[in-house]
Every structure is written in structure tokens, then in C-alpha cells.
Structure 1
Amino acid sequence: MTSFLMGAPSYCARFGVAALLAALADFLFYGQPVGITLFLFGITLAAAVAAIQPSALSARGLWLGLGALLVALLPLIENVSALSVAIGLAAMAVFALLLVGRLRHGLARIAGQVALFLLAAPFRFIRDFLRWRKAARRLGRRRIRLAAIAVWVMPLTLGAVFLALFGAANPVIEHWLSLIDLFALLDFIQLPRLAFWLFVLAGVWAFLRPRLPRSFGRTARRAPPVPVAGEVPTTKPDTAIEDIVFGKAAILRALVVFNILFAIQTALDATYLWGGIALPDGLTYAAYAHRGAYPLIVTALLAAGFVLAALRPGSAPSSDPFIRRLVYLWVAQNIVLVISSILRLDLYIGVYALTYWRVAAFVWMGLVAAGLALIITRIALEKSNEWLLSANLLTLSVTLYACSFINFAALIANYNVEHSFEMTGQGTRLDFWYLRSLGPDALPALDRFFEHQSGTVAANDPPWRELAGPHGRDKASYHAGQENWRAWSFRNWRLLRTLDTRIPFVVPQGSEPFVPGR
């Protein structure tokens, strides 16, 4: 506890920097749209973290960490989303732990550190504040002279009394005092704003004083049992239950059965999905695709779990060549199963349009296929499960980073408009209200939809006015919101250019004919 206050100047400096960052956050974010300001705040926070650490300049990999942090913050320039913010927070946590020399080796261990750091971050400020108060009470005036504050209580109190008396006796002073409106000053104290400041202080404090719980990474080491003289050591029975149920013979039989079952499923998919054979009466391709897309992914995940449990590194089944070949065949069938699931989902989307969840399903299926391929690689190269976990985390990180630059809202809107019944004469009708919920990125696609409809639908058709009216208001609201520089992002800049270069259309009113470009 005493050592906590030995660095009191550093503690106070950190609090001062945190207060300045909170003031900057108030200027950038409070009551304002969020855009490029989040990237600017992230860069400022990184600079503050590096400046406040005494050993930052001598830290190993500092410049590499700065470069990696900058790359991780680039998605915030493209667009502010939950994904880009999560990537930025994770990179900031890695950078802060790197500067204080607490970052471990290995992607899996680093991921555990980052998760624990972010979970404990909201409570770091409160915990340090309580520790500081406790240490101050124990050390008293030796380190922090709280009495220096108390000696001002009496002078300020009597001074206020004297000032009130002077105001009653002197009209000039009374006039000056009348200009001070205490209730107006209280109006500046806004509880939501105060909560915002406390939230920012707690958030940035965790990065300015990066720490991990002391118990993290510590494992209890049990001393080996000391043999007692004359005691006969007990050995594990040769016919233990786990050796029978999960032994080499059981795993071999399970792999044979699983391969046969998966071969049947693969043959059916090859017949109906890849071969184009007609389905049984009453069953459509959409229903066939929808019923199998997600359960097959669960099946692949269970298969992956079985392989990891059955072929542990160093176990007897993992060293058997025949079992290894059966595992390779089974995992290969699982990869084909995932590919079939992707085709099923594609058929289903062709009938029922595209949504965020269906895009996420595509990404998820690709990750599952990559994970299965990595399982084969781990078995073939005889790597550890930690290597497999690190490889999957790397694949997931690269995928999420790439996804942060993809405009999924525009992708969904363009696909649904181009494949709608109104545009092609087949498929499902366009769900205008769902596309509107996607946000401003769907505006160009909806523009093309309305331009196409203007030549096929009567101008005085009520549904036409009902849809075109909200669309026009959405465009006007988006343009108005982009006048604030804080809302700028590279994606918004591109969207504005697209909207400005398109020929505007006028929403028809009443029986007035619709004239594009007027």
C-alpha cells in the first residue's frame, strides 16, 4: 500500500491527463454525431498512454506497436460501427499492456489478456481511488497533507460571512453580488454530462494505468505426493470406464460410423444441390436449403469438438495411422458439408432476399470451414491445441478486420433491389421498410428502385407516394446531419458524393405527373 503512494506525482499526473481527455471527449462527442472524431480521440489517447509511461521509449517493439495500433484504428476512418470500435479497443489494450511490459507471447494468451483487461477496465478507476483513499488515511500527513485543505475551511467560511455583510452595507458590492446567479450556475451542472465525464474518466484511466488482476495466469502448483515408507503405490486400473468408452477401439468404431453417415448426407447434397435432380413432391429448393443450412453447421462444430477430444496430442489414437486417415476423411466430408450449407443458404437467399443475419451466416460458415482445415493441419503437423486456438484467433481477427471495411448495408440493399420482384419480375417483393432500417447506406439503392418504378407505376398511385415521401425525408435528414464535421467518415464522404452525382427526383404530390430531374 505504501508503494502505491510513492508514485503520487505520477498518480496525480495520470488523473490530470485523464481529466484533459474527458474534456476533449466532451468537446468531440457529447451531444454530437460520432465520425472521424473517434479516430482522433483514439490517436490522442494512444499518445497520452505513451507519454505518461516513464519507460515507454525504451519498451521493446514500441514502434511496431504504434504501427499496428494505427492499422487497427483505420476502420474508424472508414466507418464507425460496433465492429470497428471493438477492434480499436482491443488494439488499444494490447498497446497499453505492451508499454508496461505485461504483454505475453502467443496469440491465445494475448487474447485472454485483452478480454480480462477490457472486463476489468470499468472498475479500475474505482479500485485505484479506494486504494488511494485507504493509503492516505494510513500515511496521514507524511505523504498527502489533507490538513492543508482543511485549514482553508474556516477562512473561506468567515470570508463568505464578511462578504455578505459588506454587501448589505455597500450598494456597489451588493450590485456585484446580485450579478451572480447561483441558480444559473447550477444549470451548468447536468447529471447526464457528469455521468458522461465519469464514464470517460473510468475508460481512459484503465489505459493510462494498465493493470491485470494479480491472479491472472497464476496456477496453483501442487507438490508431488511424497511416498510413504512401506506404502504400495496405487495404479490406474487397466479397464477404467474412460478407457473403454473413449479408448482407441471406441474412437475407431465411431469414426467408421460417422464417415458412413456423413457420406450419405454428402451423397444427398450432391444429388439434389449439385446435380440438379428434382426434389420429392411438395418440397422446394428453398425449404430444402433452409432446413439444412444451420443444423449442418452445428453438426460440423460437434465433429470438430469430437476430433479435438479424441485425437489429443500424444494420445494412442493420434499415433495410429489408420485412425488418422479416417479423421482426415471425416474432416474433409465436414468441409464439403459446410460448402453445401453455403450453397443451401445461397438458394434460400435467392428466394427470400438478403439480411444482416444471412450475411453473418456466410461469414460464420467460412470461419467454420477454415477451422476444420486448421484441425487437419494441426493433426498432420502434430501441433498443440494452443497452436490451433492461436491459428483460429488469427483467422477470426483477420476476417473481422476485413469485414470492418465492407459496407454490408449497401451490399444488402443493392442485392435486394436488383433481385426484387419489382425489378426482375420474379423473386420476392422489395421490403422497403427493412432497407430503410439499414440506414443512409441504402439510399443509393432505393434511389435506383424509385427511378425504375417511376416508369412503371402511375404517378398518383398512393403506395408510390407513401414510400417516396419517407425516402425523401431520410435523404434530407442525412444531408443535414453531415454538415457537422464531427460526423465525417470516409464512407460518409463517398456516400455524399454518390448522392450528389445522381439525378435528384421530386416526390409526386397529388395528381402532379412525376418528372425525373425536376
Structure 2
Amino acid sequence: MRTMSLATSYCRRIGAGVLLVALADFLFYGQPAGITVFLFGIVLAGAVVAMHPAALSDGRVWLRPLALFAGLLPLIENVSPLSVLVAIVALAVFALSLAGRLRTGLARIAGQLCLLLLAAPFRFARDFLRWRKVARRLGRRHVRLAAIAVWAMPLTLGAVFLALFGAANPIIEHWLSLIDLYALLERIEVGRLIFWLIVLAGVWAFLRPRLPGFVARIRRAVPAAPAARSTRTTAEDVIFGKAAILRALIVFNALFAVQTALDAAYLWGGAALPDGLTYAAYAHRGAYPLVVTALLAAGFVLAALRPGSDTSRDPLIRGLVYLWVVQNIVLVISSILRLDLYVGVYALTYLRIAAFIWMGLVAAGLALIIARIALTKSSEWLLSANLLTLSATLYACSYINFAALIANYNVDHSLEMTGQGVPLDVWYVRSLGASAFPALDRFIDHQGPTTAADPAFRQLLGVRPVDEGCYRAVLDHWRAWSFRDWRLLRYLDKRGSLANPAVTQPYAPGH
């Protein structure tokens, strides 16, 4: 009975998978991605619910679709790798929860998600082979070479007879002439078949969410824990013992105090730098190495103050750790200030925005280390808290238009707009895409007659309408709609057409 139920379950899921592949072909293949990604996510969620109807009996079932909708919501704002990643994670959590396989604790859920997504490309192939075994148990005949060979003679002779009838009968010949085998073969697109297989393998991981079994097999293969260690003092006890950690914390606090004092003097106090050294160079030299220093310090603290160890119970060591972690947080804040000074001179880029976010996450992680020590929490609690911080940050970032942020900052702080700083790299701003249109328009409107005669500026005036025309052409389809693009189109419609003087040919971004 269980075997029959398993076979029925496979058939139901394969049917849903084929329908989802057909929908994906209609929405995505050869089409721009926009609101269609959100619509496909909603349909996929509905298919997951259909695969687990028993889950609807739960009284709190409405919480799951509400959380899923929050995960899919960034796709309405804009389709980007980050918003797609958020949606995939939300769908995976939703599928695991309906299947009753979602564990408790953010750290354990994160591990489940990693295993599920890693195994997703291979899940369908493995389940298909398993389905064939189930079919054999039910007594269904599987395809054999002999079954194919039985049809070889009838089909061959049938083709010969059909050719003879075509030669003898003009009507049959006319019918055969209407069959264009080359045209049929040309319609078979290898790329489309690969697209179908990829979509089927992807949706199958949600329709039948299962975690790979190799983790459990590895745990069973690992030998039991070794016997208790001897009470004899070892080299490890001396090098990483309580006395060594105490001395290390004293030395580390003194070194970090020197660095903090220098930053306080030069970055916050405005002290004059040595000859030949600019604030931008001072900021750039230390922005990233100091973050690496903070990460190494965090690793040392986690290793030195393991929960339940003698060092974690010593009040002096705990006080020195608190002081050192606070100095590390100040160090990260100093790195953020250094990067801000550097951006103020050399403008903003995607990598520099990512550095700001990364430094903020490092500072938050250090603060959570203090909380873990003060509240005597476990390492799993610390990992879960950091994952929650990271998840909230990535979710918030999926709503931020970083291209527009970079363009607005670089234009507003350029030499042409403020009279100080560096000249605007117009072609880099243009390479940011359509989100940079408002900032470029503000830059164009601000220029006076002297700048208007510059050939490079006239070239910008020439390519700006061309870029807008290409952008409108891509969005001239309902599939490409997004809330962000809708707002930008409203701005462009209100602004109206730009002048398009006869200038040189458009300049390609990145040249």
C-alpha cells in the first residue's frame, strides 16, 4: 500500500512539474524578466500547497503564506540576483515547513537550506530512478531492448510500403510532400530543452523537499567520541591555557589602544598628517586591513571563551575581553569613517557600498559576541543571531536601488556640481543603467554654456535619448514590469523628450 501511495505521489508531482515547466516557458523563455518572476513564485507556492493538503489543517497555517509573501515581495520592487535569492530561500522554508521537515532554530534551518539547495540539481534524477524501482515493485513492465527490437521490422517495412504507395498514388504523394521533416527538426531547440530540464529540476526540489541522506550516513560512520583526556598537562594547555590567554588579552588591548589613539587623533581630532600623506591615502591604507584584524580578534575571542571553560568564568579575563571587543567595534567604526573619507575623494562604487555593509555586519557581530558572553549563551545562539542580522540586512538591501544611490552621490559630489572634488566619470554613471537617468538629467541641466560646447558633453547629450529609447523598448512588454521601473517611467514621462543634437556616434559604456 505504501509503495502504491509513493508511486501516486510521484505521478502527481511530475504532473505539477510539467505544468510549471510549461508556465516557465511561457513567462521566461526568450522574454524579459519582471513581474513574471513574482507570478511564477506564487504559482509554485500554490503547487507546493497542493502537494501537502494535510498541512492546511494546522490552525496557524496562515502564518506560512504571510511569511512567504514577505519573501516574494522584493520581486515586485525589482528583479535582481538578491531579490531572487530572497525568494528562493522563502520558497524553500515554505516547502520544508509544509512537508513537516523544518527544524527549529535559525542555525539549523540555515544548514537545512544549504543542504536542500546544494542537492536540488540532483534531486529529480535521483527521485526518477527511485520511481522506476517503485514501478517495478508494482509489476509494471519497464522498457527493454527486446521491446524496442520488436518494432524494428514492422516500422522499417511500413516505411518502405508507405514510400511505394506514395510513388503509386498522387494523393498520398501530395500528403507526404506536406510533411517537412527538416522544418520539424529545426523547431527542436536544444537550448529550450535544456531550459525545460533546468526548470523541472528546480521546481522539483520544492515540490518534493528532501534533504540528502549523506549527512546522516557520515555521522553514523564517524567513530564514537574518544575517551576522556588524561589529566596530564599538555603543550596545548600551556599555549592556550588560562595564563596564556590572560597575557594575550593584555598585549592585544595595549596594541589596539595605540591604533585607536592614532585614529582618534588623525580621523576625529583633525591632527596634521606627516608630509606627503593625504587623508584619502591614510583612509584607504587602513579601511580593509582593520576589518580583517577585527575578524581575527573575533575568532580569538570565540576560541578563548568557550562556554563552560575556566577562562569564560574568570572575571578579569571577561573584563579584558569586553574591553578588547569594544576596541574592535571602535576599530570597525574607524574603518567605516576611513572608507567614507576615501569615497568623498574618489566617488562611490558598488564595491565600496558592499564594504560599508560588510563593515556594519562585522560591528554587529562583535556586539553579539559581547551579548553572548554577558548572557552566557551558546555558540548556536551566536550563529543564529548573526544569521538573523545577515538575513535582515540582505532583505532590506533587496529594496534599495544601489545604482540610483551611486549615481546620485557621484553627481551631487562631483567637481562640476560643487566646485570641489573630482570630475564626474560620466561613462561609469551611464554604465549603471536606467536607474542613473535622473542623476544624469540633473547633471545635464546644471551645466552652463561653457560646458555645453565640450565635445564629451555633447556626446552625452547624444547618447542619453538613445539609452532611454532602448530602455523603453525593453519595457514595452507586460512581463518586464516592476514597481521600480514603473516609477522611473513616470519620471521620464513627466520630464518629456530631451534634445538630441547631431553629435558623434554614441559612446559604448566601459570603453
Q: Determine if the TM-score, normalized by the shorter chain, exceeds 0.5.
A: yes
In the other structure, the counterpart of 2:341 is: 347
Q: Does 1:128 align with 2:121?
A: no
Question: Do 1:4 and 1:132's aligned partners in 2 also have CA atoms closer than 8 Å?
Answer: no
Question: Do 1:32 and 1:486's aligned partners in 2 also have CA atoms closer than 8 Å?
Answer: yes
Q: Does 1:306 align with 2:305?
A: no
CA deviation after TM superposition for structure 1 residue 277, in Å: 1.2
Written as runs of structure 1 = structure 2, the 5 A alignment for 1:35-74 is 35-58=34-57, 61-74=60-73
Aligned with residue 251 of structure 1, among 245, 250, 263: 245
CA deviation after TM superposition for structure 1 residue 376, in Å: 0.5
Q: Does 1:489 align with 2:482?
A: yes
CA deviation after TM superposition for structure 1 residue 418, in Å: 0.7
* TM-aligned CA distance change 1:15 to 1:156, over 3 Å: farther
**Please, what TM-score do these two structures have when normalized by structure 1?**
0.91
The amino acid that maps onto 2:244 is A
* TM-aligned CA distance change 1:235 to 1:381, over 3 Å: closer
In the other structure, the counterpart of 2:443 is: 449
Aligned with residue 324 of structure 2, among 305, 310, 330: 330
CA deviation after TM superposition for structure 1 residue 208, in Å: 1.2
CA deviation after TM superposition for structure 1 residue 56, in Å: 3.4
Cα deviations across residues 325-355 of structure 1 (Å, max 9, x unaligned)?
A: 1111111111111111111111000000000
- 1:224, 1:436 → 2: CA distance? 60
Question: Do 2:7 and 2:134's aligned partners in 1 also have CA atoms closer than 8 Å?
Answer: no
In the other structure, the counterpart of 1:183 is: 182
* Ranges in structure 2 where 5+ consecutive residues have no aligned partner: 505-511
* TM-aligned CA distance change 1:322 to 1:508, over 3 Å: same
- 1:468, 1:501 → 2: CA distance? 19
Q: Does 1:357 align with 2:351?
A: yes
CA deviation after TM superposition for structure 1 residue 377, in Å: 0.4
Q: Does 1:410 align with 2:417?
A: no
In the other structure, the counterpart of 2:494 is: 501
**145-154 vs 28-37, which moves further:** 145-154
Written as runs of structure 1 = structure 2, the 5 A alignment for 1:104-143 is 104-134=103-133, 136=135, 139=137, 142-143=139-140
The amino acid that maps onto 1:407 is N
- 1:258, 1:357 → 2: CA distance? 30
* TM-aligned CA distance change 1:223 to 1:466, over 3 Å: closer
In the other structure, the counterpart of 1:516 is: none
CA deviation after TM superposition for structure 1 residue 130, in Å: 2.8
Written as runs of structure 1 = structure 2, the 5 A alignment for 1:427-466 is 427-459=421-453, 461-466=454-459
The amino acid that maps onto 1:502 is R
Percentage of pairs with the same residue: 71
* Ranges in structure 1 where 5+ consecutive residues have no aligned partner: 226-232, 512-518
Aligned with residue 467 of structure 2, among 461, 466, 474: 474
Q: Does 1:293 align with 2:287?
A: yes
- 1:152, 1:42 → 2: CA distance? 44
In the other structure, the counterpart of 1:208 is: 207
CA deviation after TM superposition for structure 1 residue 504, in Å: 3.4
CA deviation after TM superposition for structure 1 residue 238, in Å: 3.6
In the other structure, the counterpart of 1:81 is: 80
Question: Do 2:116 and 2:210's aligned partners in 1 also have CA atoms closer than 8 Å?
Answer: yes
Question: Do 1:5 and 1:132's aligned partners in 2 also have CA atoms closer than 8 Å?
Answer: no
CA deviation after TM superposition for structure 1 residue 222, in Å: 5.1
The amino acid that maps onto 1:478 is Y
Aligned with residue 395 of structure 1, among 384, 389, 396: 389
* TM-aligned CA distance change 1:234 to 1:463, over 3 Å: closer
The amino acid that maps onto 1:167 is G
* TM-aligned CA distance change 1:84 to 1:235, over 3 Å: closer
Q: Does 1:266 align with 2:255?
A: no
* TM-aligned CA distance change 1:160 to 1:493, over 3 Å: same
* TM-aligned CA distance change 1:158 to 1:492, over 3 Å: same
- 2:313, 2:503 → 1: CA distance? 79
CA deviation after TM superposition for structure 1 residue 58, in Å: 3.7
- 2:460, 2:92 → 1: CA distance? 46
Question: Do 1:53 and 1:99's aligned partners in 2 also have CA atoms closer than 8 Å?
Answer: yes
Cα deviations across residues 89-141 of structure 1 (Å, max 9, x unaligned)?
A: 111111111121111111001001101111110111122223334555x54x7
Question: Do 1:53 and 1:100's aligned partners in 2 also have CA atoms closer than 8 Å?
Answer: yes
- 2:350, 2:128 → 1: CA distance? 43
Cα deviations across residues 454-481 of structure 1 (Å, max 9, x unaligned)?
A: 544144x322222222222111100111
- 1:235, 1:426 → 2: CA distance? 67
Q: Does 1:100 align with 2:99?
A: yes
**291-300 vs 15-24, which moves further:** 15-24
Question: Do 1:59 and 1:99's aligned partners in 2 also have CA atoms closer than 8 Å?
Answer: no
CA deviation after TM superposition for structure 1 residue 62, in Å: 3.3
**Please, what TM-score do these two structures have when normalized by structure 2?**
0.92
- 1:379, 1:209 → 2: CA distance? 41
- 2:20, 2:210 → 1: CA distance? 19
CA deviation after TM superposition for structure 1 residue 242, in Å: 1.3
Q: How many residues align?
A: 500
In structure 2, the residue corresponding to 1:31 is in which secondary structure? coil
In structure 2, the residue corresponding to 1:28 is in which secondary structure? helix
CA deviation after TM superposition for structure 1 residue 160, in Å: 5.0
CA deviation after TM superposition for structure 1 residue 207, in Å: 1.2
Question: Do 1:59 and 1:101's aligned partners in 2 also have CA atoms closer than 8 Å?
Answer: no
Question: Do 1:354 and 1:412's aligned partners in 2 also have CA atoms closer than 8 Å?
Answer: yes
Cα deviations across residues 397-456 of structure 1 (Å, max 9, x unaligned)?
A: 000000000000000000000111111121111112211221111111111111222544
Written as runs of structure 1 = structure 2, the 5 A alignment for 1:20-35 is 20-35=19-34
The amino acid that maps onto 1:84 is S
* TM-aligned CA distance change 1:59 to 1:205, over 3 Å: farther
Q: CA RMSD in A?
A: 2.4
Question: Do 1:55 and 1:100's aligned partners in 2 also have CA atoms closer than 8 Å?
Answer: no
**193-202 vs 407-416, which moves further:** 193-202
CA deviation after TM superposition for structure 1 residue 298, in Å: 0.5
In the other structure, the counterpart of 2:168 is: 169
